[in-house]
Amino acid sequence: VKRRLITSLLVLHAAALLAAGALVLRAKNGGPRDEDVRSKLLSLSAQDSVGWVSIRGPIMASASGKLWERGSEQWARRIEQLAETKGVKAIVLDINSPGGSVGAVQEIYSRILRVKKEHPTIKFVALFGDVAASGGYYLAAACDKIVAHPGSLTGSIGVIFSVSNMEGLFAKVGYKMDPIKSGRHKDIGSPARSMTAEERQILQDLIDDAYGQFVSAVAEGRKMTIEEVKPLADGRIYSGNQALANKLVDQLGDSKDALMLAAKMGGIKDEKPRVRRDNEKFSDLFELLESRARLVLGVGPVSLPLPSALSAHGMMYLWSGW
């Protein structure tokens, strides 16, 4: 099986080289017709369009940083690439996520703010799918407008740090951890023992600091005061209808409404605005091919959906009901 796969890959590689060579020769020997086709393609790519980035599942840093993986680095890179693409006047963030790790969420959030600063004419519209909660809402707070379905679940503004206490279970099975540590707080959050009151306060201070950053981001993005946001930021979730009533979203609608709003904000007058989705389809293809290849060759782990990353440790802008 491995030999057949390798042979197939070599054949595909050779075919790709032949196709590339044919294109080069055609470009060198092409007449006016080829020049005309190339000019049309260039003009098409430069036409006004709305960039579209789909953010799906928990927002975490990717495991390896590969271009075709789904993770905070890849999503941030896509946003930046679309902003630098000629003709893109606005970007829609299509969010269907319960949030994720603090660092991963803030990586994308800060990249959106940087793009808005470097490209002030490009407008951002967030579109909520089934869920855009916690870190998903944090990202939307960086956008100029937010569109949600009436039944979208959103909100969950807050931070969580999950700590498991397995001391009783360990005692039953005769398992004991005996860490050697450089300081008394080095094993803070260990599942093998109960936390001290001092350790609990340390973690609470950490949570409060990250929570303050979240509230400030919402207040700034939604043009509200801290005092207006805090009563809404107790971790509860809202429907799209409730979020609209509380000024957490700007309008109710679907993907078409979000597209038309982004086009209008970007100054695109076409009745059917063009959508540029960057490399998402290629990313999906490469991810599938890599998983299939690993499965056939028996090399390393097969890529799994990001919900498996929910076991990650640390502070989370995450709705735990996902």
- Annotated catalytic residues are 134, 186
Selection from 208, 190, 209 nearest residue 199 by Cα: 190
* Cβ-contact 178, 187 below 8 angstroms: no
Selection from 294, 319, 320, 318 nearest residue 63 by Cα: 294
* Cβ-contact 49, 88 below 8 angstroms: yes
First to last CA, the chain: 40
CB contact burial 100-121 (16+ within 10 A = b; e otherwise): bbbebbbbbbebbeebbeebee
Q: What is the full DSSP assignment across 263-312?
A: HHHTT---SS-EEE-TTHHHHHHHHHHHHHHHHHHT-SPPP--GGGGGG-
Selection from 60, 240, 251 nearest residue 146 by Cα: 251
> 143: helix, coil or strand?
coil
Write out the H or E segment, with its range, that includes residue 89.
Answer: strand 88-97
